[in-house]
Amino acid sequence: MERVMGTIESSVDKTVSKLEDQLKLWGTKLNDLAARVDAAAREGKIEARKRLDEMKEKVKVAQAKLDEAKAAGGDQWGKFKSGLESSWKEIESAFQKLTR
């Protein structure tokens, strides 16, 4: 009986050891994945910042076009209208992409 119990205990110890090893391996893999996610998040932040900066520049350009149109007066509106409409569409599209 002791021999059988000893074999069972040995088998249980081996199984527990294997499970502990697997848990350690999974823990290591999870840590690696977490590091990758953090790196991807940083890259995502960099990309988001780039898109925000591009967006700000587009808004500045549109504001400059609007200021120019206002300074030119109402009779010159037609001259600036298509440029402003183009800028607005570009900004709207960029905002939609940015907020998705």
Q: In the chain, which ranges are continuous DSSP H helix? A: 2-72, 77-98
**Neighbouring residues of 69: CB distance < 8 A, sequence distance ≥ 6:** 76, 77, 79, 80, 81, 84
Give per-residue pLDDT as tens, 57-87: 888 888 888 888 888 777 777 777 788 788 8
Q: Which of 7-11, 51-55, 56-60, 69-73 has the highest mean pLDDT?
A: 56-60
What total of structural domains would you count in the chain?
Answer: 1
- CA 44 – CA 47 distance, rounded (Å): 5
- CA 70 – CA 98 distance, rounded (Å): 29
**Neighbouring residues of 80: CB distance < 8 A, sequence distance ≥ 6:** 65, 68, 69, 72
Q: What is the pTM of this model?
A: 0.56
Range of the domain at 89: 2-98
